[in-house]
Chain A
Amino acid sequence: MSTDVKVPQQLPATHHAAPQGVKLPIYMDNHATTPMDPRVLEEMLPYFMEKFGNAASRNHSFGWAGEEGVETARERIAKLIGATTKEIIFTSGATESDNLAIKGVAEMYREKGNHIITAVTEHKAVLDTCKRLEKYGYRVTYMPVQKDGLVDLEDLKRAMDDKTILVTIMAANNEIGVVQPFAEIGKLCRERGIIFHTDATQAVGKIPIDVNKQNIDLMSISGHKMYGPKGVGALYVRRKNPRVQISAIIDGGGHERGMRSGTLNVPGIVGLGKACAIASEEMSREAVQLAGLRDRLRDRIMSRLDETYINGSMEHRLPGNLNISFAYVEGESLLMGINDIAVSSGSACTSATLEPSYVLKALGTGDDLAHSSIRFGIGRFNTAAEVDYVADRVIETVERLRELSPLYEMAKEGINLKDVKWAGEAH
């Protein structure tokens, strides 16, 4: 799904009775965004009306209070990822962090080279930034991925040349949850003196990250994907072994060591910090819990429905992600049938641009199965009762829609749909 420009799903009152312990509507779209953890909100509140000072006001206690909140957050983020506080820059979110990392390196290292390597499954914040750089004369290689969604390290090696200044490959994919071998990618880059940036929006707080062990030079972090606030994020910028420098893309006062000007969003930053602190404590336990719920959802659905296909590697995957295609049923019509549940789809019909998911396309999934895909994002606040309810509603809706489907009918008659000459094919 061209994920972030989504046509919102309508969630009217439902005629389905909710079972015990299940409150409707259910939110299971945690890759799109997450509800704020109450502990995060609590941590943020004092910074709106009491400790409201500008963190850059060095001369009075209001400013110092703001600064203290910011520095505590910086420590918490650094701790989660194995970095030092001087290496954390605050931004308005991962999109800005991606822009800053990629454009910042491109400009700073222009003399050294003009070649950037990325992958076709990246988020638009990376892809569109690369496209813009191509207009400015940079050369970008968009690497394909294998059927399981993973980048091939040999392909990556071959793509690198003496003008390559940056490799940017996401740690975990927002649509299919696939986790790239980013430690190995980082190692390859380090050996060749190429800067490695990873968009870790979906990974931070969900899987262990250590910027040193994993050879990461730059990393984008997002607040609202980890039960923190929207409108705030961070960029990790390596200071040692090697020192990485980036040009700022926003000018005006030189905040954040000259890398990102602008008054800091103190409450947001405090929230991001708290979200990271919670993740530091709870991540291992939570990963096990989420994987359990996700597997429960998968098994319940797949044991009752045939012709369902998981998109992307199950082995290298975020614990809460499930992306399944239901053959012969179109995704938006499926979402309509489970209108008391919030999930998303790779179908063209759910995208504002009417394009099917480019991520699923990159896996080699046929367009028909891309149109039939649903992404489930299980999160901290989902329960087993919710998972069972969601599975049952999906099953009943798929069964109903298959009865309505001419493709299901033809398949049952033994017709191979790939052999059919479709009237609408010429396009």
Chain B
Amino acid sequence: MSYSDKVIDHYNNPRNVGSMDKSSADVGTGLVGAPECGDVMKLQIKVNRETNVIEEAKFKTFGCGSAIASSSLATEWVKGKTVDEALAIKNMDIVKELSLPPVKIHCSVLAEDAIRAAIGDWKKKQASAQPVGAAVMQ
């Protein structure tokens, strides 16, 4: 299997590697996959609560070159999008962009799952956070 130039590029120069503060109210963390499967992706987003725009994204991945590239690309793509726009990202978009062969499509699926998991986590945090003053009123 030859890797596409884009996969190699993401592997050699991964974008947005790192971690954000999990406990921050503006950060959504998605952790998907499992070590026994050979694929674990952690994708984090920092969302502007007024505009719902994803201002920052970081990732870390345990997985093959295609998995690393898929998650790196995912962080690139979600940055600057609103949360709803990010939810529209489909794994086949990743497959096309990175020219992933059929045997590696599941890596793109996991990246899509990671985006959704991060957004889901952020949304949960927003829902449980009361508007200012509401908790005080009885």
Residue ranges of A at the interface with B (Cβ–Cβ < 8 Å): 7-8, 10, 328-333, 336-337, 347-349, 352, 354, 356, 366-368, 371, 403-409, 417, 422-425, 427
A-B contact pairs, 26 of them (CB 8 A): A328-B62, A330-B39, A333-B64, A337-B11, A349-B64, A349-B66, A349-B67, A352-B103, A356-B38, A366-B35, A367-B37, A368-B36, A371-B35, A404-B14, A405-B61, A406-B40, A406-B60, A409-B42, A422-B36, A423-B31, A423-B113, A424-B34, A424-B37, A425-B34, A425-B36, A427-B34
Instruction: Please report the C-alpha to C-alpha distance between residue A424 and residue B118 in the assembled complex, in whole angstroms.
Output: 15
Given contacts A7-B1, A336-B3, A423-B117, contact A406 B34 (CB under 8 A): no
Given contacts A349-B63, A409-B60, contact A422 B34 (CB under 8 A): yes
Closest to B68 in A: A333
Contacts of B110 in A (CB 8 A): 424
Please state if B61 and A424 are interface contacts (CB–CB under 8 Å): no
Instruction: Please report the C-alpha to C-alpha distance between residue A32 and residue B32 in the assembled complex, in whole angstroms.
Output: 34
Contacts of B92 in A (CB 8 A): none
Given contacts A406-B42, A422-B35, A425-B36, contact A332 B64 (CB under 8 A): yes
Please state if A347 and B35 are interface contacts (CB–CB under 8 Å): no
Closest to B2 in A: A10
Please state if B38 and A349 are interface contacts (CB–CB under 8 Å): yes
**Chain B CB within 10 Å, residue with most, of A330, A403, A427:** A330
Contacts of B14 in A (CB 8 A): 404
Please state if B35 and A368 are interface contacts (CB–CB under 8 Å): yes
Residue ranges of B at the interface with A (Cβ–Cβ < 8 Å): 1-3, 8, 11, 14, 17, 19, 31-42, 60-68, 103, 110, 113, 117
Instruction: Please report the C-alpha to C-alpha distance between residue A408 and residue B122 in the assembled complex, in whole angstroms.
Output: 24
Partner of A347, one of B38, B40, B60, B66: B38
Contacts of B68 in A (CB 8 A): 333, 404
Given contacts A333-B11, A422-B40, contact A405 B62 (CB under 8 A): yes
Please state if A407 and B38 are interface contacts (CB–CB under 8 Å): no
Closest to A418 in B: B35
Please state if A366 and B36 are interface contacts (CB–CB under 8 Å): yes
- Closest chain A CB from B113 CB (angstroms): 8
The 9 lowest CB-CB distance pairs between A and B, nearest first, are: A368-B35, A367-B36, A422-B34, A371-B38, A424-B34, A406-B42, A332-B64, A349-B64, A406-B60
Please state if B35 and A407 are interface contacts (CB–CB under 8 Å): yes
Please state if B65 and A407 are interface contacts (CB–CB under 8 Å): no
Contacts of B11 in A (CB 8 A): 333, 336-337
Partner of B62, one of A337, A348, A356, A406: A406
Please state if B17 and A404 are interface contacts (CB–CB under 8 Å): yes
Partner of A423, one of B2, B17, B34: B34
- Closest chain A CB from B44 CB (angstroms): 10
Contacts of B103 in A (CB 8 A): 7, 352, 354
Contacts of B40 in A (CB 8 A): 406-407, 422, 424
Closest to A332 in B: B64
Please state if B42 and A423 are interface contacts (CB–CB under 8 Å): no
Contacts of B61 in A (CB 8 A): 404-406
Instruction: Please report the C-alpha to C-alpha distance between residue A403 and residue B58 in the assembled complex, in whole angstroms.
Output: 13
Please state if B3 and A406 are interface contacts (CB–CB under 8 Å): no
Closest to A402 in B: B62
| Contacts A331-B38, A423-B33 known; 6 new A-B pairs at CB < 8 A | A336-B64, A336-B65, A348-B37, A367-B37, A405-B61, A409-B42
Contacts of A406 in B (CB 8 A): 31, 40-42, 60-62
Instruction: Please report the C-alpha to C-alpha distance between residue A185 and residue B117 in the assembled complex, in whole angstroms.
Output: 54
Given contacts A333-B68, A424-B39, contact A404 B34 (CB under 8 A): no
Instruction: Please report the C-alpha to C-alpha distance between residue A336 and residue B66 in the assembled complex, in whole angstroms.
Output: 10
- Closest chain B CB from A407 CB (angstroms): 5
Please state if B1 and A367 are interface contacts (CB–CB under 8 Å): no
Please state if A423 and B1 are interface contacts (CB–CB under 8 Å): no
Contacts of A427 in B (CB 8 A): 34, 37
Partner of B35, one of A336, A354, A417: A417
- Closest chain B CB from A340 CB (angstroms): 13
